[in-house]
Structure 1
Amino acid sequence: MPSFRNSGVEIAFDDLPPQGDVARTMILVHGFASNRKEGWRRTGWYAALERRGTRCVALDQRGHGESEKLYDPDAYGREALGGDVVALMDHLGLERADVFGYSMGARTALAAALAAPDRIGHLILGGVGERLLEPRVEGAPTDAMSQAMLAEDPETISHPMLRSFRHFADEQGEDRRALAAFVQAKNPPLDVEAMGRLEAPVLVVAGQRDDGAGDPDGLARAFPNGRGITVVGCDHFSAIPHALTKAATFDFLDGMLDDPFGDRF
């Protein structure tokens, strides 16, 4: 397992160059309670990027997968998470790369882009939408998620989405105490003004049935070069492996999303 240390925290990653010439590099950032293998390899992204001649780099976010587990919420601030992505680029000698973050990973990808805008070619934010801009309040889903991770019996979790995440974490063998600390991290509101200065092309893509995301267009409008895509018929979990999500992403990278086919795949 390749890994590196950023500020003393060990981060596991995969670095998979395709056969032949490398056209570009994509860094993949998985979502909450997932990991690089479940979030990206099993869902077909490793293979799809290899077929395109793209160097695929994917990390396990701290507290997840094979990366170091930490139990202090302060260790999971947005700045630290985004810093892991930039530090990985430094470790691999990557001056510039495309970055794709899904769900919670979209927040990390955005943090990396805002911290090092000159290092990001294209930015893809998946499984999120305009609700990403809403301020967090006490009793919000992240607080309930922490309680769900710490519950002794998952069957006592009444909310279906929270129960699904808990079962998913158990299936992946994730450290639930680390996950509870992860979502307890306190972060300032997103810097919308800085988002409005980000020059990189940004794609926001979410499933039509992803009620927790909100409208992708609403978030895309926060960026000067943003584009929102809704994947018809998909929810939060089914959108990431779907061929239409891959098609939207690759068309975006190829500069084809200005074609008049609309905002829905």
Structure 2
Amino acid sequence: MSAEHFESFDGTRLAIHRVGEGKPLVLLHGLFSSAQMNWIKFGHAEEIASRGYEVIMLDFRVHGDSDAPEEPEKYPLNVLVRDVAALVDHLGLEDYDLGGFSLGARTSLHGVAHGILSPERLIVGGMGTAGLGEWGKRSAFFKRVIDEFDTIERGDPAYFSMQFLKSQGVNRTAARLLLDTMPDLDLAMLDNVSMPTLVVCGDEDRDNGSAEALAELLPNAEYAEVPGTHMGSVTKPDLGLAMADWLDRTA
């Protein structure tokens, strides 16, 4: 496992973690998480790398080992899509696959639907139709977590999100700015996502709406279910195995 940094389109310093050799697979983590938490800690990256891939994991701005600028001008619309495009350009990637979980999945779909990212294959984890077309409602929940951070008590639906945010040491000022950069996606634009796609979701995960409905809307997708809730599914080996097996089958 190696780590390095590069400067994104606006000079923000972002971290890249890499493991393995072979065809590049770019993986994007979830909100308030990191490459370490989503892909490395529970062995998913190592499993996929063992199948002959170079797994390239970005820490989004405000997350992991990347910078968390507090200047509002560092947060234009869809800034995370621009960061992923900057990563692809920095590494000179042409023939690559792309995968994401939760925020990473919606970032991937935005990038592909808008013609900014062009992977050969796509993996969409922990994402459903509501997490795309009704993101404003989901975003409002996370804004409340930040705005009421010090007063949220056990038993509140936001309590565990607050605890996770605290455990990851996320800069709340920067996170609040980041949340305003994420627009809803017109689901009709999913017609543009024509490459082979795996939609994979926990069997108890309803955080972002129906993943099965999302798979049905995508032109060339299949659906796979793994054990777990939204936060629990990434802690089980089944997620990495499902991703690796699908990559093997569609190679």
What's the TM-score once normalised by structure 1's chain length? 0.83
Aligned-residue offset at 1:185: 2.9
Quick one: percent identity of the two aligned structures? 28
CA gap of 1:118–1:184, structure 2 versus 1, over 3 A, is closer
Provide the residue aligned with 1:201 in structure 2.
196
Greater shift, 55-64 or 43-52, is seen at 43-52
Q: Give the one of 9, 14, 20 matched to 2:12.
A: 9
Aligned residues: 248
Q: Give the one of 214, 222, 231 matched to 1:219.
A: 214
CA distance in 2, matches of 1:224, 1:25: 23
The alignment's C-alpha RMSD in Å is 2.4
Provide the residue aligned with 2:45 in structure 1.
46
Amino acid in structure 2 at the alignment position of 1:184: D
Deviations 1:71-107 (A, max 9, x none): 3567445632112112111111211211111111111
Amino acid in structure 2 at the alignment position of 1:60: D
Aligned-residue offset at 1:186: 5.0
Provide the residue aligned with 1:262 in structure 2.
none
Whether contact under 8 Å (2:203, 2:225) holds in the other structure is: yes
Superposed, which structure 2 residues align to 1:5-44 within 5 Å?
5-6=7-8, 7-18=10-21, 22=22, 24-44=23-43
CA gap of 1:9–1:157, structure 2 versus 1, over 3 A, is farther
Is 2:193 the partner of 1:168?
no
CA distance in 1, matches of 2:153, 2:171: 19
CA gap of 1:254–1:190, structure 2 versus 1, over 3 A, is same
Superposed, which structure 2 residues align to 1:186-265 within 5 Å?
187=183, 189-231=184-226, 233-255=227-249
What secondary structure is seen at the aligned counterpart in 1 of 2:249?
coil
What secondary structure is seen at the aligned counterpart in 2 of 1:203?
strand
Greater shift, 241-250 or 39-48, is seen at 241-250
Aligned-residue offset at 1:194: 3.0
What secondary structure is seen at the aligned counterpart in 1 of 2:231?
helix
CA distance in 2, matches of 1:199, 1:73: 34
Superposed, which structure 2 residues align to 1:65-214 within 5 Å?
65-71=64-70, 75-76=74-75, 79-116=78-115, 119-137=118-136, 140-153=137-150, 155-156=152-153, 159-160=156-157, 162-185=158-181, 187=183, 189-214=184-209
Whether contact under 8 Å (2:34, 2:59) holds in the other structure is: yes
CA gap of 1:78–1:124, structure 2 versus 1, over 3 A, is farther
Whether contact under 8 Å (2:152, 2:162) holds in the other structure is: no
Whether contact under 8 Å (1:99, 1:122) holds in the other structure is: yes
Provide the residue aligned with 1:259 in structure 2.
none
Amino acid in structure 2 at the alignment position of 1:174: V
Consecutive unaligned residues of structure 2, counting only runs of 5 or more, are none
What secondary structure is seen at the aligned counterpart in 1 of 2:173?
helix
Consecutive unaligned residues of structure 1, counting only runs of 5 or more, are 257-265
Aligned-residue offset at 1:225: 0.1
CA gap of 1:118–1:70, structure 2 versus 1, over 3 A, is closer
CA gap of 1:45–1:247, structure 2 versus 1, over 3 A, is closer
